[in-house]
Amino acid sequence: MEFFRRIYSFDYMGHKKWWFTFSAIIIAAGLISLFVRGGGNPVKGLNYGLEFKEGTRISVAFEKQPTLAEVRQAVADAGYPEAQLQETPNVGGSKQRGFQIQTVTLSTTQQAEFKQALDSAFTIAQANGAEIFSLETVGATFGRQVVSSSLKAVAIALLLILIYVTFRFQWKFAIGAIAAEVHDLLIVVGIYSLTGREVTTATIAAVLTILGYSLYDTVIVFDRIRENQPKLSRLPYGDMVNVSIWETLTRSINTTMIVILPVLCLLLFGGATLKNFAFALLVGILSGAFSSIFVASPILTLLKEREPQNRKLKLAARGDGS
Amino acid sequence: MIVMAALVAVSLYFIIPPSVKTHLGLDLQGGLEIIYTAKTADGRAPSTAELDQTIGILDRRVNGLGVTESAIQKQGTDQISVALPGVKDAQQALDLIGKTAQLEFYKDDPQSRPVGPVATKEDALKQLKRQGVSQVEIDQLSAEGNTDKYALVVSPAEAATSRPEQWFVFKRPPALTGDAISGARAGFSGQNNKPNVLIDFTAAGSKTFQEITRELYRTGLLKGTPQTFAIVLDNVMESDPMIDYTDPGLRDGISGGAEISGGNMTIKESQDLAFVLKTGALPVKLVPTYQQQVSATLGKDSLRQGLIAGLFGLGLVLIYMLLYYRFLGLVADLALIVYGILLWGLFSAIPVTLTLPGIAGMILTIGVAADANVVIFERIKEEVRHGKTVRSAVNSGYARGFKTILDANILTMLTAAVIFVFASASPKGFALTLILGVLVSMLTAVLFTRAMLGVLAGFAFFSKPAFMGVRTSQIETVAVAEGRTAASRRRRTTTAASAEGTSQGAPVPAADGAATVTAAPSRGGSSAGRRTSTTRKKKKRR
């Protein structure tokens, strides 16, 4: 109980260094992981899904319930001894036990032949009159295009956010907001690298969304700071920011909770694609809630305290004691 | 009230026609999606006109397959995505759609055919190199099959006559191209009753064809050996008919049409060939770069899981709002339900394809829509604590809260718009639902929540602060900010170990117990935050 009362009166701005250290440690861990896993190239330090690699992936369930070894043998017999196989309890989201087979890129004819080979070996299972068989093929350039177009989107989104926040607030607010954004992105990417989770196009969509949504809490706090500034002009800037955070803390917590609830449901009940999506969103939303108070606001305070009148106030607050 | 009535009418309008079904993407109903990268014959990037023409032809082919709701779209500068939801025979679709179907007629004489027949591709290229063709051109020919000057053509092995595979190089341009074709149909050869394809020429094409054959007849007569010409489809020699110079009937060349009777065509193959020839040749070569084939079962499962997750998410948010905001929570819940109906109605009313990432986007917007209510309600509660009457608190709280929401939502939509414009396929669907969701949520906040609060504020029972979870003891007559200031000052003085006098009025305990001096390390993050909210809830209920 005491603890909860304290978070509504805690001197957040006075402990800037702690927050920065905390964030820096997590981000550094992620970056190190990116560099180590990528062998020096951070772009390669992620576990990219098939969409980013060249090849064909088949998800299939069989009537005859063969073992992994039997399927591996059949795949090798069909001419693909180097294929990667994986058993899944519910193939492609269905209730059936099945397999994921990843091969080199198959041409249309090869696909048909391979499917035929699998069908004659184990009989492809059916559900509701349709075969449980799905196939995905990706060419060499597709992944590169997705990544490059996404990087372009991130750069443009950051620029627009910078312009909008500068226009609605002030450039110092914009710097705080952008710092929070970059912080959130680095955390999500770092966690994906650390956990080795598969990065798919859904992940990228989620990361891009985080860019937009993680500012929600930051805007709530900034809005209050903007409103409190004239009212509490006699306070040192950091204290005024503290007051603003205290006043908006409940709604920051509630908005975060309310968005996390459905995202958690996605994580629990969604199929593979949705789960993937939800995980990235979850990390991003948590990081966004954190960064609104512990990154965006402290950076704004740092910048603002350098202004002459704010510096005077700060010195006065200190000077009174000496 | 008028606004509310209008809103209800609007939502009813959207929901009532149940015949309009939501368009499901192929990841939800099964089907085939292919993304092609377009290349011109000589490896140049295709022009916009060429891409548009290609899309037109693809559209005709897809319609010929009987796929409804197909979507063919340009992506970037050189890609075309083809989505065929619910397609039954994926294999056939793959075979037919992307076929260039570039039909070419070459004269089969040494002048038009610098190389061939030889046994392998390498031999063909080597021979061409010996004729003084540059390595650059050879490499391009090897990779693309065509250059400005040459075409590499293969004649597949024929089992019936045990003729092995043969390779040729023909000189471009061909004597006649697919442009000269006006129609094609599958039939049977008069000679051996095997399936073939009959080609009809346009007027101009017919004339050129007659000239070619007449010339071949004369050359054959002069040299005393029969001459042939080659019919080549996408660098594969389909047939090489001979012009019999001993047949005087051919003196004036062949008029009318031509026949393709490649070796052992099956009936199905001849029908497919006639189909692609009829729909026209693509001006570009299409290389599949991405292909996804989803079975109908998998799609249905994904949809069900998405809907379950969505309903659970909505349910949890409804409960959370009700527990935390009590009566106001009820208003918010109603608003959320209206929001859900509106969004679903919108998706039925406009031709938007709902995809799996789209569902994720929708579920996320449930949270965003509820967020708007949280911000407004917290603001109203704050105003009530400041001592305002409930009615005026509702008005000013709504106005101020909405300003915050506007900024936050504009930023979300801004990013979503950037994703929509710049990102590729899957993120696009997500971005679109996010934009629509945020727009509808704003609409709900403006029209529904505001109207509800306005109406309720008029009732006497509503004016009790407890109705929105504000304790009477929390209501202050002194401005909260002043008290906060004092508290903040006091903390400062403690840290600085000084005895600074408070100049801003007596320290009044602030609403949330802000006056406590603290030295406890914060655990930070929202795990702490989550616990906070539950405790605060308890505190208020007492």
In this structure, whether the domain defined by B23-99+290-294 belongs to CATH 3.30.70.120 is answered with no
Does residue B541 have a pLDDT over 70? no
pLDDT in tens, B68-105: 667 787 877 788 888 887 776 777 777 777 777 777 88
**Bridge partners for A199 per DSSP:** A48
Q: In this predicted structure, what is the pLDDT of residue A15?
A: 78
The highest-confidence range among A68-82, B266-280, B293-307, by mean pLDDT, is: A68-82
Say how far apart CA B435 and CA B362 lie, in whole Å. 10
pLDDT at residue B515 greater than cutoff 50 = no
Q: Choose the closest CB to B516 out of A5, A161, A271.
A: A5
* pLDDT value at residue A184: 92
Question: Any idea which of A297-311, B24-38, B326-340 has the lowest mean pLDDT?
Answer: B24-38
Q: What's the pLDDT at A174?
A: 93
First and final C-alpha spacing in chain B: 36
- Examine the domain organization and report whether A184 and A309 are in the same domain: yes
**Whose CA is closest to B360, among A93, A157, A189, A281?**
A281
Answer yes or no: do A39 and A176 share one domain.
yes
Q: Strand (E) positions, chain A?
A: 47-48, 55-60, 84-88, 98-103, 126-127, 130-131, 133-138, 198-199
* CA–CA separation, B157 and B166 (whole Å): 7
In this structure, the answer to whether residues A128 and A178 fall within a common structural domain is: no
CA dihedral in degrees (A208, A209, A214, A219; nearest 10)?
110
CB contact (8 A) between residue B76 and residue A145: yes
The CATH number fitting domain B103-267, selected from 3.30.930, 3.40.1130, 3.30.1360, 3.90.70: 3.30.1360
Could you tell me which of A51, A211, A272 has the C-alpha nearest to residue A146?
Answer: A51
Based on the fold, state whether residues A59 and A207 are members of the same structural domain.
Answer: no
Structure confidence by residue, pLDDT tens digits, B2-32: 665 666 666 666 665 544 456 677 777 777 8
Nearest CA in chain A to B363: A262
Do residues A213 and A278 both lie within one domain? yes
Instruction: Give me the CATH number covering residue A207.
Output: 1.20.1640.10
Tally of domains within chain A:
2
The residue type at A276: N
Partners of residue A322 in chain B, C-beta under 8 Å: 496, 498
Model pLDDT, residue B151: 86
Arithmetic mean of pLDDT, B34-42:
78
Determine the distance from the C-alpha atom of residue A108 to the mean position of all C-alpha atoms in its chain, rounded to a whole number: 35
- pLDDT top residue among A7 and B382: B382
The answer on pLDDT for B347 being more than 70 is yes
pLDDT tens per residue, range B277-309? 777 777 788 877 777 777 777 777 778 888 888
The reply to whether residue A256 touches residue B434, judged by beta carbons under 8 angstroms, is: no
Do A153 and A259 reside in the same domain of the chain? Answer: yes
CB A243 within 8 A of CB B504: no
- A181, A237, A266: which to substitute to probe chain B, counting the most B Cβ within 10 Å? A266
Whether residues A218 and A312 share a domain: the answer is yes
CA distance B140 to B43: 8
Alpha-carbon span B148 to B42, nearest angstrom: 6
Cβ–Cβ under 8 Å, residues A294 and A12: yes
Last residue of a domain, one of A95, A120, A138: A138
For residue A277, list chain B residues with Cβ-Cβ distance below 8 A.
357, 360
Same domain, A153 and A130: no
Q: Do A208 and B415 touch (CB under 8 A)?
A: yes
Q: What is the CATH number of the domain that holds A87?
A: 3.30.70.3220
Q: Which CATH number is associated with domain B2-20+295-473? A: 1.20.1640.10
Q: Would you call A193 helix, strand, or coil by DSSP?
A: helix
Residue B479 reports pLDDT greater than 60: no
Banded pLDDT at B243 (limits 50, 70, 90): confident
- Is-same-fold flag (B2-20+295-473; B103-267)? no
Q: How far is CA A133 from CA A57, A59, A116, B83, B94, in A?
A: 11, 6, 12, 18, 16
User: Looking at A22-167, which runs of residues are DSSP E strands?
Assistant: 47-48, 55-60, 84-88, 98-103, 126-127, 130-131, 133-138
In our burial notation (b when 16+ CB lie closer than 10 A, e otherwise), range A8-20 reads bbbbbbbbbeebb
Element counts in chain B: helices (H) and strands (E): 15, 17
> Could you tell me whether strands B353-354 and B236-239 are parallel, antiparallel, or unpaired per DSSP bridges?
unpaired
What confidence tier does B470 reach under pLDDT thresholds 50, 70, 90?
Answer: low
Confidence of residue A180 (pLDDT cuts 50, 70, 90): very high
Is B539's pLDDT higher than 50?
A: no
Q: Which amino acid makes up residue A20?
A: F
**Number of helices (H), then strands (E), in chain A:** 12, 8
Element (H, E) at A258: helix A237-269
Q: Residue B495 pLDDT > 50, yes or no?
A: no
| pLDDT value at B524 more than 50 | no
For chain B, say whether A68 makes contact (Cβ under 8 Å).
no
Q: What percent of chain A has pLDDT over 70?
A: 91
Task: Tell me the C-alpha distance between B360 and B358, whole Å.
Answer: 5
Secondary structure of B350-405 as H, E, C letters: CCCEECHHHHHHHHHHHHHHHHHHHHHHHHHHHHHHCCCCHHHHHHHHHHHHHHHH
Rounded Cα gap, residues B153 and B232, in angstroms: 7
Q: Which pLDDT tens digit goes with each residue over A120-145? A: 888 887 766 667 777 777 776 677 77
pLDDT confidence tier of residue B513, bands split at 50, 70 and 90:
very low
Residue B318 CB coordination number (10 Å): 20
Residue B485 in this model has a pLDDT that exceeds 90:
no
Domain boundary among A90, A116, A138: A138
For residues B248-256, average pLDDT: 73
What's the token pair of residue B369? 């829509």
Q: What confidence score (pLDDT) does residue B260 get?
A: 74
Q: How far is CA B177 from CA B144, B174, B209, in A?
A: 18, 7, 10
pLDDT score of A146? 75
Structural contact between residues B258 and B209, judged by C-beta atoms closer than 8 angstroms? yes
Asked if B425's CB is within 8 angstroms of A201's CB, the reply is yes
C-beta separation of B436 from B348 below 8 A: no
Separation of alpha carbons B393 and B380, rounded Å: 5
- In this predicted structure, the answer to whether residue B162 has a pLDDT above a threshold of 70 is yes
Domain boundaries, chain B: 2-20+295-473, 23-99+290-294, 103-267
Residue B392 has pLDDT above 90, yes or no: no
Average pLDDT rounded to a whole number, residues A103-120: 81
> Nearest by CB to B371, which of A22, A259, A268?
A259
Domain closes at, from A96, A120, A138? A138
Shortest distance between the Cα of B312 and any Cα of chain A, in A, equals: 6
Alpha carbon distances (Å) from B220 to A247, B109, B217, B223: 98, 11, 5, 5
How would you class A32 by CB atoms within 10 Å of its CB: exposed for 0-12, middle for 13-18, buried for 19 or more? middle
Domain that holds residue A118: 55-138
pLDDT of residue B426: 62
State both tokens at A218.
């930051």
Most confident of the following: B386-400, B454-468, B501-515: B386-400
Half-sphere exposure of B328 (CA within 13 A, CB side): 29
Give the pLDDT score at A187.
Answer: 92
Residues A139 and A259: beta-carbon distance below 8 Å: no
Give yes or no for a cis peptide into A308 (omega within 30° of 0): no
Instruction: Flag whether pLDDT at A158 surpasses 70.
Output: yes
Better-predicted residue by pLDDT, B439 or A46: B439
Q: Which residues contact A276 (CB under 8 A, 6 or more apart)?
A: A197, A198, A200, A202, A203, A206
Q: CA A90, CA A132: separation in Å to the nearest integer? A: 11
d(CA B457, CA A285): 34
pLDDT at B50 (0 to 100):
83
Q: Inter-chain contact B360–A278, Cβ cutoff 8 Å?
A: yes
Same domain, A267 and A155: yes
Both tokens of residue B164?
A: 């092995």
Q: Which positions in chain B touch A152 (Cβ < 8 Å)?
A: 422
Residue A179 pLDDT class (50, 70, 90 cuts): very high
**Per-residue model confidence (pLDDT) at position B5:** 60
Residue B487 with chain A: CB contacts under 8 Å? 9
Per-residue pLDDT tens digits for B401-428: 888 888 888 888 888 888 888 766 566 7
pTM of the model: 0.68
> With 80 as the cut, is the pLDDT of residue B124 above it?
yes
Whether the CB-CB separation of B67 and B87 falls below 8 Å is answered with: yes
Cβ within 8 Å, pair B481-A205? no
Percent of chain B whose pLDDT exceeds 90: 1
| Amino acid present at B234 | D
Q: Do A167 and A226 fall into the same domain?
A: yes
Give me the interface pTM, i.e. the ipTM. Answer: 0.77
B228-240 pLDDT, tens per residue?
Answer: 888 887 788 877 7
Based on the domain organization, do A218 and A309 belong to the same domain? yes
Q: Number of A:B CB contacts under 8 A?
A: 367
Burial A73-95 (b: 16+ CB within 10 A, else e): ebbeebebeebebeebeebbbbe
Q: Is A280 on the interface with B (CB under 8 A)?
A: no
Most confident of A198-202, A225-229, B158-162, B254-258: A225-229
> Which of A34-38, A42-46, A219-223 is predicted with the least confidence, judged by mean pLDDT?
A42-46
Check CB contact under 8 Å for A7 and B528.
Answer: yes
Computed over every residue of chain B, the mean pLDDT equals 73
Backbone phi and psi for residue A93, each to the nearest 5 degrees, phi listed first? 95, -10
- Please choose, from the candidates B210, B119, B214, the residue with its C-alpha nearest in 3D space to the C-alpha of residue B168: B119
Q: Name the token pair of B407.
A: 């900024």
- Per-residue confidence at B57, pLDDT binned at 50, 70, 90? confident
Q: Which residues pair with A84 in a beta bridge?
A: A102
Cβ pair A266:B363 closer than 8 A: yes
C-alpha angle B345/B347/B351, rounded to 5°?
130
Q: How far, rounded to the nearest angstrom, does the alpha carbon of residue B195 sit from its chain's CA centroid?
A: 40
pLDDT at B519 (0 to 100): 37
Kindly tell me if the per-residue pLDDT of B505 is higher than 50.
no
Same domain, yes or no: A130 and A276: no
Cβ count near A106 (within 10 Å): 19
